[in-house]
Amino acid sequence: MVIERDILQSLEKWKNSSSRNPLIIQGARQIGKTWAVEEFGKRFYKHIAVFNFDKTKELKEIFASTKDIKRLLGELELFTTVPLTAGETLLFFDEIQECREALNALKYFSEDAPEHHIIAAGSLLGVAVKYKDGKDEDMSNTFPVGKVSFLDMYPVTFREYLRIAEPLLYERLEQRLPALEPLPAGIFNPLIEQYRRYQVCGGLPKPCSDMLDGAGMAVVEADLEGLRRAYEYDFTKYVEAKDIPRIHEIWRSIPSQLSRKNKKFIFRVVREGARAREYEAALDWLILSGMAYRIYCVGQPILPLKHYEDTTAFKVYLLDQAILRSLSELPPEAVITRSDVLREFKGAMAENFILGSLLAQGFKSPHYWTQHGNTAEVDFIIQHGLSVIPIEVKAEDNVAGKSLSEYDKKYNPEIRLRFSMLNVKRNCNLLNLPLFLCDWLREILEGI
């Protein structure tokens, strides 16, 4: 089943921008970058010319031999059946990380041929830009700084999933949401069911699509295992040999890191006696690849949050909560049940979901907060305009805990957010939202 992606709207804005530069789409493997660009090209251009640097190795020779745009376009025409007409043809450079010269050439397209519309994407682009032959490299002379635009892409959101799974339910929710009142059981209960199904399949397009098609849990589980293995195979790319086993060790430790009550990432959990300096490059690789997210602790939730972050204290999540479940070998039934079975791990999956939703909505660099002595911890701290908003995440309807109250006593924020399996409810400055509403958070905050 084809899943309509919201990124198509962002691509349309880029196309119509008067200050349009070549666009680089960043994101992990297997999240739908190629589909999104090709679908966008079909809808908004007469033609789309796809140049895949992984499939067609000869393309590298073209960009290595010249930076002259007219000559480049002339030679590129030999590798496509469509005309490269400015404004009518979308040029798509796929797997551009395989050709640094092509990445550098985006600068010259911006300067000498801005009339051409160009989008570039690639798996492990962040890693490839930072490392060459597994070694750190200064890219200042080759990366087109200031001459390209960037667009981050993430897995399928619950909002996108719901729009396909239950169009009428999605429409009814959208109609009632501005009132920010408790949802009637006829809407609330089906939404919980769909959220649990989404938690099982996650947001990677293949398992998500199979879930929507009713292919069965066995197929979804096989999809997730295949994707997880493919990600693990990528650990050998653009990395020094000594870091390959360390990347594997960090990757496999993430479920146990998140299953602890204190989810702060600890290197000795990776391996007994492990030291940060030995594993920092391996962890950076996972972050740059988009396969994992890192959020830092803030000592004081004051703007700018970056100024108050503690770079020695951080939590690490995976790009998708279903990959987290697959890596943990946890069966779907454990997620679907409404009991408190595996409370800590279900909490980790819920937090992973919330973080992915925040990032997909453009909340940059979420943090978390701990009180001195670790007597209280707030799962996420985000900035919305000039407001700093604390967020607590509960996997089910047990919302007991003092952390958010301790935060309130100390900082008295205008609003506190709690995501749980309880219905919409507001009590003074505390707003409880069902977990499945996180994808609408930006709109909710703007309407308060």
pLDDT for the residue 132: 61
| The pLDDT value given to residue 140 | 45
User: How far is 173 from 175, CA to CA, in rounded Å?
Assistant: 5
Between strands 131-132 and 135-136, the pairing is: antiparallel
3-state secondary structure of 362: coil
Listed in sequence order, the residues at least 6 apart from 186 whose beta carbon sits closer than 8 Å to its beta carbon are none
Q: 141 and 215 share a domain?
A: no
The residues, any chain, with a CB within 8 Å of residue 167's CB and separated by 6 or more, are none
Do 416 and 324 lie in a common domain? yes
398 within domain boundaries: yes
What 3-state DSSP class applies to 344? Answer: helix
Q: What pTM, to 2 d.p., does this model score?
A: 0.95
| Integer Cα distance of 293 and 288 in angstroms | 9
CATH number of 115's domain? 3.40.50.300
Digits of tens for pLDDT over the chain (448 positions)? 899 999 999 999 999 999 999 999 999 999 999 999 999 999 999 999 999 999 999 999 999 999 999 999 999 999 999 999 999 999 999 999 999 999 999 999 999 999 999 999 988 888 887 766 555 554 445 677 779 999 999 999 999 999 999 999 999 999 999 999 999 999 999 999 999 999 999 999 999 999 999 999 999 999 999 999 999 999 998 888 999 999 999 999 999 999 888 899 999 999 988 899 999 999 999 999 999 999 999 989 999 999 999 999 999 999 999 999 999 999 998 888 776 667 788 999 999 999 999 999 999 889 999 987 778 999 999 999 999 999 999 999 989 889 999 999 999 999 999 999 999 999 999 999 999 999 999 999 999 8
Domain boundary among 112, 133, 152: 152
The domain of 266 spans: 158-447
Nearest C-alpha neighbor of 296 from the set 359, 368, 354? 368
Q: 415 burial class (0-12, 13-18, 19+ CB within 10 angstroms)?
A: middle
Does residue 63 belong to any structural domain of this protein? yes
How many folded domains does the chain comprise?
2
* Residues contacting 232, CB < 8 A, separation 6+: 248, 251
Query: Do 293 and 427 sit in the same domain of this protein?
Result: yes
Q: Which residue is listed with tokens 């066995």?
A: 218
Instruction: Answer yes or no: do 168 and 145 share one domain.
Output: no
* 148 and 175 part of one domain: no
In this structure, are 113 and 172 located in the same domain? Answer: no
User: Is 371 part of a structural domain of the chain?
Assistant: yes
Q: Is 265 helix (H, G, I), strand (E, B) or coil?
A: coil
Q: Identify whether 166 is part of a domain.
A: yes
What letter represents residue 231's amino acid? Y
Same-domain check for residues 108 and 194: no
On whether residue 1 sits in a domain, the answer given is no
C-alpha closest to that of 358 among 290, 293, 276, 431: 293
Q: Are residues 230 and 290 in the same domain?
A: yes
Same domain, 145 and 194: no
pLDDT at residue 128, as a whole number: 82
